[in-house]
Amino acid sequence: KVLEKREVSSERPLVIITAENAINPATKLQKEIHASLGKHIPFYVTESAIFCSTIEAENSSIDIQSEDFDVLPFDPSRVPFSFPELPFLQPEENFPLLLTRKIYTYNCASAAIAYLGALKGYHLYGEAANDEDIARLLELLYADVNSVLCKQYDIALADQEDFALRSKVKFQNKEILDSVERNARDASRKLASDERLIGPLVLAVKHRLLSHASAV
């Protein structure tokens, strides 16, 4: 409906920014919108990477608790004109690589914490991330993922290690009252061949890199 209204106005094309932890969400969404419109109306879909945790408050449909994070990296290559100068919008030159690194680092570790935390009976995500056994496995997992990503994408090891460390600090922050259940949802999607758990493992096999974490 919004697109149809803008079609007859003098406004420039609508820009939709996805906020989804998935591979190529903008392409998929743009394809579905085009298919449902049945006619050509100009619009653009680009992607952002969400690095902060935001959790619904209990017993409320509108209140949220969100981690303090003031940057939204997005892909500027999908939009042929400049965005307004908003301080929180951060154009990322190689956005597909950033999103892949996020899914294979942040989301890989997040899934490991969630499923191992569920296995050990944790409810609060921060407590699971600080569990001695899970934390030990995380160190091995990060080492594996860092090695794989540096080999596949020619990333400097120090840069990737810093990237991974930021995710570990986030996950082990007990002030972020996240749940194991929320992070473990939608397991079938998260087990896809290009997703957070299987994707890095496929790259490890490709480069014949020994996985220390999978042997634990």
- pTM check: above 0.85: no
C-alpha to C-alpha distance for 86 and 72, rounded to whole angstroms: 10
User: DSSP assignment of 77-104, as one string?
Assistant: GG-SSPPP--TTEEE-TTHHHHHHHHII
* φ, ψ at 34 (rounded to 5°): -60, -45
Q: pLDDT tens digit string along 118-155?
A: 999 999 999 999 999 999 999 999 999 999 999 999 99
The residue-averaged pLDDT of 159-187 equals 91
Which two structure tokens, joined as six digits, stand for 123?
Answer: 């409810």
Kindly tell me if the per-residue pLDDT of 10 is higher than 90.
Answer: no
Kindly tell me if the per-residue pLDDT of 46 is higher than 90.
Answer: yes
C-alpha to C-alpha distance for 104 and 140, rounded to whole angstroms: 14
Give the residue ranges of DSSP H helices in the chain: 2-7, 25-37, 95-102, 108-119, 125-129, 132-153, 157-171, 180-184, 187-190, 198-206
